[in-house]
Structure 1
Amino acid sequence: MKQPFIYKVASTDEEYEQIHQLNYATFVEEIPQHDRNESRRLTDKFHNENTYIIAKKGEEVIGMIAVRGDRPFSLDHKLPDIDNYLEEGSVPCEIRLLSVKKEYRKRTTFFGMIDQLASYCLKQKFDVALISGTERELVLYRKLGFEPFAHTVGTKEALYQPMKLTKENFVKATQAYHRILARYEPISFLSGPVPMDEDVAQSLSKATQSHRSDEFLELMTSVQSLLTEKTNAPHASILVGTGTLANDVVAQQIKQLDGEGLILSNGEFGERLIDHATRADLSFHTIQKKWNTAISMEEICSVLDERPNIRWIWTVHCETSTGYLYDLKALKEAAADYGVHLCLDACSSLGVDEVDLRDVYLASSVSGKGLGSYPGLAIVFHHHKPFPNSTIPRYLDLGLYASKKSTPFTHSSNALFAMKKALELDASAKVEWMNLLRSELENQSWTVIGDKTYSNGIVTIALPSTFSSVTYGNRLKKQGILVNYESSYLQEQNWMQIALMGTVSHVNITRLLDAMNRLKETEQKRVSS
């Protein structure tokens, strides 16, 4: 399998050692700026102040860029009047030591580091970047939004052009730059599969463990503990499969309960719960409403009052087709008041919204959405310990999983390693990202469905009749930006969705918003002409 490149901030002694060696190979042997030495290492004079963005293939450092915000810059010594070229109040940084090993000098490596570098600079609140650009790469730098300033500096053998890049120029770069980005690496705002954190991706490649080994069972127990700690659920069983499997397992457990049920639906995934229940031959009533129409607690309590034989409620937590988020606290209170079991589909909410499963009878989820890991693991939370039931198909029997430590059948240690790492990551920033995204979409005059009470994981945009969601989604895809629009239920509504369920960065959100605004302006001109 082709090994993916990893882009990160250097942090280990081994990475720093390879940086010194790469620095020597580039700026001594290839570009003669420094004298040769026997150690074939070159430690930059600003090393202790530098932050290094590196590209790695496995354990090998194949590329680097240094960034530094402390003055004086290296360029200050060559060009003493730099501040005359900057706006008053600017917060500059200097980018130096761009180097990629010859065998990896493809645009993909360069743009991978630039993407990571931009994310770092934005987090540090730098608003202008300075470089000494080599003449052979001036065209490339211009495509990124860099502008020359002042005269060339350096020696005849190593001549450089001072250049600067503002934040505004970076996010409003030319069409050529966006095409390059699209070829280099698409950015995903899909609800599944979701973009991975690099540590999650690396965890998947760990050595596979036998599902009968003590090491595997220890891994399984640790992942189950992380899940129950995150949700306050007493128990969590992990199956090889999807959210559809998890909901079929829930349906079989509901079937063992006495009485009838109530299923809530105001979107595509509520309708799918009704289909699960129908296929499982459950006896139930429904509250079905037009998509994105709220179902009030008064309506739910009214049905429970009218039908005392109802013993369970089944609903999605986040209605993925719209982002509508049911009030879990109010649902739990109503279930307790009426003495009914509450069952929940939390496939799209776990990991991005607050999901407190204390006092929830059963809940389903998955590894590959809000948790930010790979698809392939189904999760069923349960407040009791079910026993095996021979009337239930083996693969759907939650009691069988509970009695065998979630491993009655072949399991995947690799998927568990990845989900464990995903559960250990801090996802709190997703709330901030969603607030930013909603605000900027509204500033661009998009029709955004819902408000801040909706999910932090997905936002739905209703396109005007003059815009086609398919055409619009395809144009974004050509720019390397993947959004949800290809599902039939979205196309029927002429809707498009942006999901923040996986790894998210400010740079990627900025790139998305800029692309959407440019396409919208183009479409508006076409319609008005």
Structure 2
Amino acid sequence: MPHSCLNTIDPTLIPDNPYLLLTPGPLSTSKRVRAALLKDWCTWDKEYNDVVQEIRSRLVALASKSGAYTAVLMQGSGTFSVESAVTTLLPPIDAKVLVLTNGAYGERIAQIASYAKIPCLTCNVEETTTFSLEALEHLLCNDPSIRAVAVVHCETTTGILNPIVEIARIVKAHHKLLIVDAMSSFGGIEIDLDALDADVLISSSNKCIQGVPGFGFMLFKKTTLATCQGNARSLSLDAYEQYATMENGGGKWRFTSPTHVVRAFAEALCELEDEGGVAARYARYRTNQRLLVEGMEALGFECVVEKALQSPIITSFYSPKSASYDFQTFYARLKAKGFVIYPGKVSHVESFRIGTIGHVFPEDITRLLKAVQEAIFW
């Protein structure tokens, strides 16, 4: 059994949560994962650093078998890791990035580039649709100054799933760097990094691997990362130096790491393996989302995103048109029944969102639908 799976706290002693988080993260975690938070760790201790090294290896193994990738962990929210990756990958000169945007998280990458004074071109499409591959091809053919392309895999503004395989094929045919924000998909949807040939993929501890918030991670192509020394615009977010310290220090972080969060994440990785890996987790998430949509549509709700583009991560629903509908009231009624949902984020329509990831199972969706039916007041 891997070192990280030796949970010394009895999970049955952990209290139940008062509600399920039906969100794209932070999300509901198991008692097993929360139990792993109840032990203190020393950042210099070999036992702890061995856990870090194991996490790094296991993360890479989830998406690559070639040996071409390495994992770099970074303190903070997922956005910290996106910023770390973008501002470490791109050099100070000749570093124009094309960001594909169909929601708030693609726009956030463009905002990161702006703050870091990285030349940035955006390809914007409606939040309820995805990108034209022909338009991407045209942009890359007509602007040779583009050095890299960035795309969000699952855009949780709506729940849309962008076609990263097809995008990667075009980007790599033009010999550009590829940045994949897989924040809300990694660990819940199978991703073949070797086939994508992405230069960096970014995700976070509190998403589909079902850990708790506190750090993110970047899966860098080793040959790409080797060229990145000195690129970083930030001391704390220098992914190259973080990598060098972890490699040379046997799992040591440069600055204080979120030890409890790291240990809980190690347990979450073991839990993922016990469930049957990413394929099994994807199947559960997809079942959750299918049951949710079927039930919500039966109650009269309508999805914002067409089914062909919908991810199993989070689903946007149009708000009822009734004058008596109020999201905060709806939210409060569901929370009182044990369910927390998300407000909408689509800019031009009134909507709300329900996540189907985390320690959530089909029977939970059945209970949610009953609660929604009882909460309807319009």
Could you tell me how far apart the structure 2 residues matched to 1:495 and 1:474 are? 16
Q: State whether structure 2 residue 41 is matched by structure 1 residue 209.
A: yes
When residues 307 and 56 of structure 1 are mapped into structure 2, their CA distance, relative to the original with a 3 A threshold, is: closer
Equivalent position of 1:41 in the other structure: none
Equivalent position of 1:191 in the other structure: 24
Could you tell me how far apart the structure 1 residues matched to 2:59 and 2:160 are? 24
When residues 506 and 390 of structure 1 are mapped into structure 2, their CA distance, relative to the original with a 3 A threshold, is: closer
Looking at CA atoms only, which structure, 1 or 2, has the larger radius of gyration?
Answer: 1
Equivalent position of 1:77 in the other structure: none
Greater relative contact order (Cα 8 A, min sep 6): structure 1 or 2?
2
Post-superposition CA distance 1:468-519 (Å, at most 9, x none): 333322322232321011x7x4687421111122101233211111121233
Could you tell me how far apart the structure 2 residues matched to 1:266 and 1:216 are? 40
How do residues 99-498 of structure 1 correspond to structure 2 at under 5 angstroms? 185-205=18-38, 207-232=39-64, 234-256=69-91, 258-358=94-194, 359-384=197-222, 385-386=225-226, 388-389=229-230, 392-405=233-246, 407-424=253-270, 425=272, 426=275, 427-428=281-282, 429-450=284-305, 451-466=307-322, 467-485=325-343, 489=345, 493-498=349-354
**Which range moved further: 224-233 or 466-475?**
466-475
2:36 partner SS? helix
1:331 partner SS? helix
Deviation of the 1:456 alpha carbon: 1.3
RMSD (CA atoms) = 2.3
1:396 partner SS? coil
Post-superposition CA distance 1:407-445 (Å, at most 9, x none): 111113321221112122222422222222222222333
Equivalent position of 2:13 in the other structure: 57
Could you tell me how far apart the structure 2 residues matched to 1:229 and 1:390 are? 27
2:33 partner SS? helix
Look up the equivalent residue of 1:397 and give its one-letter code: D
Look up the equivalent residue of 2:218 and give its one-letter code: V
Could you tell me how far apart the structure 1 residues matched to 2:244 and 2:289 are? 40
Equivalent position of 2:7 in the other structure: none
2:62 partner SS? helix
Look up the equivalent residue of 1:197 and give its one-letter code: S
When residues 447 and 246 of structure 1 are mapped into structure 2, their CA distance, relative to the original with a 3 A threshold, is: same
Could you tell me how far apart the structure 1 residues matched to 2:232 and 2:110 are? 22
Q: Structure 1-normalised TM-score? A: 0.61
How many residue pairs were aligned?
343
Please tell me whether the aligned partners of residues 469 and 494 of structure 1 are also in contact (alpha carbons under 8 angstroms).
Answer: no
Please tell me whether the aligned partners of residues 200 and 419 of structure 1 are also in contact (alpha carbons under 8 angstroms).
Answer: yes
Gaps of 5+ in 1: 1-14, 16-54, 59-108, 113-183, 524-529
Could you tell me how far apart the structure 2 residues matched to 1:185 and 1:325 are? 31
Greater share of strand: 1
Deviation of the 1:317 alpha carbon: 0.9
Look up the equivalent residue of 1:441 and give its one-letter code: M
When residues 187 and 240 of structure 1 are mapped into structure 2, their CA distance, relative to the original with a 3 A threshold, is: same
When residues 258 and 268 of structure 1 are mapped into structure 2, their CA distance, relative to the original with a 3 A threshold, is: same
